């Protein structure tokens, strides 16, 4: 506690970012340190779990020290320790969890486990001080694509999710096929701006009527087949056109299902979260559809879209003030359900 305010120290290590943050009253960021391993995993075209764990182990203490120092607080003044305990890579999660437990034990502070997706949603409370539940959330990242009904600060209900690849994964795979590099999402976002989204007609996969689930694995094959048939016909591939057309096919479905869910469930707010929430076309398309339906759209700035610990601290704070506590038996759960 500092100046009567509750302080949270949070740690996130579920994938390839080692992150720690100190936040005040759940929503004010005092520090938000992110050590990204993207440059290391780039050479392999994706995250290598064993390498990720090793780097978390090397970096985590420095990152936590830096977060406390930059926040200008002492460990004594911290009220709770928040940590991601799933879903994610088990070896990666364990490093953050062991560190959080060590701090909780040594400084005698309560430990609060956070669901990574809940954290992503909470990034919006940090960005938008006036935002309160209920609302509809679209969590869209390299590992997840979920439509989530957020009833209150601690109650979320998953209405739909991907049956195969996550949206970010589809972006990354298609970018690789197009020879764009890793991570592919931002690269497709950029190059698609110069392309024609109607140049290639990729299939929009809506699944059964009324379903809020997604399927993105077919589109990678669709792009591959298109490239192969064009090459066989001796035609040049227009990468910008293919990127724009792929993106249009994926986003048409995502936007229709998300806005449809909000309308059906009587929600007047949609909240975007996760790495793909940075996508400029997704924001534009959603904004347009939301305006038509009188829905207000919220999304975090890019630094709070990708993995960070500030969002985990926010989620931990709301569990803490609701009286929830975990103990040192808290375990990493790679496929943790929301
Ligand atoms: O949330 P995040 O940092 O990590 C996970 O929890 O997965 O999301 C990373 C994902 C990657 O697949 C990356 O390609 C994608 O988010 N991404 C984007 C954009 N920026 C990041 N996808 C599309 N457009 C973007 N601008
Ligand atoms: Zn994430």
| Pocket mutation for ligand 1, best pick of 12, 52, 142 (most atoms within 8 Å of C-beta) | 142
**Three-state DSSP state, 204:** coil
Average pLDDT (238-262) is 98
Atom of ligand 1 lying closest to residue 278 CA: 26
| Ligand 1 neighbourhood includes 308 CB (under 6 angstroms) | no
Helix axes 116-127, 310-321, angle to 10 degrees: 100
Quote the mean pLDDT of the chain.
95
128 CB burial (10 A radius; 0-12, 13-18, 19+): middle
How much distance in Å is there from the Cα of 140 to the middle of ligand 2? 8
283 phi/psi in degrees, rounded to 5: -60, -45
Q: Would the pLDDT of 54 be above 80?
A: yes
State the DSSP code for 325. -
3 CB burial (10 A radius; 0-12, 13-18, 19+): exposed
pLDDT of residue 210: 93
Write down the residue that tokens 């700035």 correspond to: 301
Per-residue pLDDT tens digits for 147-168: 999 999 999 999 999 999 999 9
Helix (H) or strand (E) holding 171: helix 167-177
Distance CA 254, CA 231 (A): 30
- Going by C-alpha positions, the residue among 7, 12, 198 that lies closest to residue 114 is 12
Distance CA 304, CA 338 (A): 20
Average pLDDT (298-320) is 96
Confidence band (pLDDT; 50, 70, 90) for 52? confident
Give the residue whose CA is nearest to atom 7 of ligand 1: 142
User: Could you say which ligand is closest to the alpha carbon of residue 193?
Assistant: 1
Q: Would the pLDDT of 10 be above 90?
A: yes
Rg, C-alpha atoms of the chain: 20
In residues, how long is the chain? 338
Q: How far is CA 154 from the centre of its chain?
A: 18
User: Could you say which ligand is closest to the alpha carbon of residue 141?
Assistant: 1
* Residue 113 bridge partners (DSSP): 83
Contact indicator for 7, 76 with CB cutoff of 8 Å: no
Per-residue pLDDT tens digits for 115-142: 999 999 999 999 999 999 999 999 999 8
Contact indicator for 159, 267 with CB cutoff of 8 Å: no
Atom of ligand 1 lying closest to residue 116 CA: 6
| Ligand 1 neighbourhood includes 26 CB (under 6 angstroms) | no
How much distance in Å is there from the Cα of 141 to the middle of ligand 1? 5
How much distance in Å is there from the Cα of 290 to the middle of ligand 2? 24
Using alpha carbons, list the distances in angstroms from residue 32 to 7, 22, 153.
13, 7, 22
pLDDT of residue 250: 97
Query: CB-side exposure of 306: number of CA atoms within 13 Å?
Result: 20
Per-residue pLDDT tens digits for 60-88: 999 999 999 999 999 999 999 999 999 99
| Ligand 1 neighbourhood includes 276 CB (under 6 angstroms) | yes
- Going by C-alpha positions, the residue among 100, 89, 92, 88 that lies closest to residue 64 is 100
Atom of ligand 1 lying closest to residue 142 CA: 7
Percentage of the chain lying above the pLDDT 90 cut: 88
Distance CA 271, CA 283 (A): 11
Two structure tokens written together for 16: 């390839």
Per-residue pLDDT tens digits for 91-107: 999 999 999 999 999 99
pTM summary value: 0.94
Confidence band (pLDDT; 50, 70, 90) for 143? confident
| Pocket mutation for ligand 1, best pick of 166, 176, 180, 276 (most atoms within 8 Å of C-beta) | 276
């Amino acid at each position: 506690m500092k100046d009567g305010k509750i302080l949270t120290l949070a740690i996130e290590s579920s994938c390839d970012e080692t992150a720690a943050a100190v936040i005040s009253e759940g929503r004010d960021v005092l520090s938000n340190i992110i050590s990204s391993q993207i440059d290391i995993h780039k050479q392999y075209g994706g995250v290598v779990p064993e390498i990720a764990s090793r780097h978390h182990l090397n970096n985590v203490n420095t990152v936590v020290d830096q977060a406390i120092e930059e926040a200008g607080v002492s460990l004594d003044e911290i009220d709770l320790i928040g940590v991601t305990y799933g879903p994610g890579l088990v070896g990666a999660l364990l490093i953050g969890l062991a560190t959080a437990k060590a701090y909780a034990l040594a400084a005698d502070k309560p430990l609060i486990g956070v669901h990574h997706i809940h954290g992503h949603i909470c990034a919006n409370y940090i960005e938008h001080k006036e935002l309160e539940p209920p609302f509809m959330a679209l969590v869209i990242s390299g590992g997840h694509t979920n439509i989530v009904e957020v009833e209150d600060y601690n109650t979320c209900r998953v209405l739909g999710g991907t049956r195969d690849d996550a949206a970010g994964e589809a972006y990354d795979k298609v970018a690789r096929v197009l020879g764009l590099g890793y991570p592919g999402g931002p690269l497709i976002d950029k190059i698609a701006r110069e392309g024609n989204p109607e140049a290639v007609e990729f299939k929009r996969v809506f699944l059964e009527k009324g379903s809020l689930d997604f399927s993105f694995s077919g589109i990678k094959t669709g792009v591959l087949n298109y490239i192969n048939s064009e090459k066989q016909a001796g035609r040049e591939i227009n990468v910008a056109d293919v990127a724009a057309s792929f993106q249009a096919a994926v986003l048409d479905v995502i936007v229709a299902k998300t806005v449809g869910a909000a309308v059906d469930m009587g929600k007047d707010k949609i909240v975007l979260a996760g790495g793909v929430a940075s996508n400029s076309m997704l924001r534009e398309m959603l904004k347009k559809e939301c305006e038509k339906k009188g829905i207000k759209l919220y999304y975090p700035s890019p630094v709070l879209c990708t993995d960070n610990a500030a969002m985990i601290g926010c989620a931990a704070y709301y569990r803490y003030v609701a009286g929830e506590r975990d103990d040192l038996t808290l375990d990493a759960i790679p496929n943790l359900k929301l």
